[in-house]
Amino acid sequence: MTGRKVQGKRKSGGGALAAADMGKAVGAKSYFRKLEKLQDKLREIQQAYIFSTEAAAIVFEGWDTAGKGGTIRRITTAMDARSVKVWPTASPREYYKERHYLARFWEQLPPNGAISIFDRSWYGRVLVERVEGFATRDEWSRAYREINEFEKMLTDDGTRVVKFFLHITPDEQLRRFEQRLTDPLRRWKLQYEDFRNREKWDEYETAIEDMLEKTSTKYAPWYVIPANDKKYARLEVISRICDRLSAGVDLSPRSLDEQTLTAARKYFDFDL
């Protein structure tokens, strides 16, 4: 797995997006074999988290049609729905427009033993709000510091923060637009805003590079995932999640309490 971890300052003439190897791909047979193993690992991690004080916030950003939803589904399919929550992030309602932009996300953070997945996130302040003019220059400029401090508070408190940017090329995005447009069952996913955002590709690319450079930290690094091949991207993301969430965690199955064991021995004669 070779999804690039963002670190250091942007080099002249390129950035994290330019450095991504967009030719990465995986065959179907290899994909399903590796996916099954990774999903098994996710189950082990989640079970370990349920009976601990561990918690995790997984953040997904990416271009329109980059495959965030499909990747998230491959993650949650392997998990018990009672301790994982997906938060799709859209425009804030009026209640939150009158408050600090981070306010709504505090309420969506995971409790002990749980995992929260953000399908887009607080990074909207330095992406769509910056590009579309919903935030002033002063507001989005100071947001880099605010977000870093926010994520530092989370990690200091024991919540692991894992962040992914799914990167596709303009040609691949247009191909996926066409697929959605010609498929009646997927056409609903395509909206006018998708085409309007595409017209601002260069502006978004600048904002993305600034975001990656200024908010990739040791405690909450960004991973830029080449996503022209959806199968490769899914494996890369889940592999990274497994590595980050399992580090230093005892994944041994939880032992039954003595009261449960005593009751079970009345019915079963094998060794428990």
Per-residue confidence in pLDDT tens, the chain, 272 aa: 456 676 545 544 579 999 999 999 999 999 999 999 999 999 999 999 998 999 999 999 999 999 999 999 999 999 999 999 999 999 999 999 999 999 999 999 999 999 999 999 999 999 999 999 999 999 999 999 999 999 999 999 999 999 999 999 999 999 999 999 999 999 998 999 899 999 999 999 999 999 999 999 999 999 999 999 999 999 999 999 999 999 999 999 888 889 999 999 899 987 76
Query: Residue 157 has what DSSP assignment?
Result: T
Backbone angles phi, psi at 144, to 5 degrees: -60, -45
* Residues 251 and 48 sit within 8 Å (Cβ to Cβ): yes
Q: What is the pTM of this model?
A: 0.92
Query: Residue 175 has what DSSP assignment?
Result: H
Q: Which CATH number does 4-265 carry? A: 3.40.50.300
Which of 72-97 are b and which e, b meaning 16 or more Cβ less than 10 Å from the residue's Cβ?
A: bebbbebbeeebbbbbebeebeeeee
- The partner residues of 164 in beta bridges, in order of sequence, read 60, 223
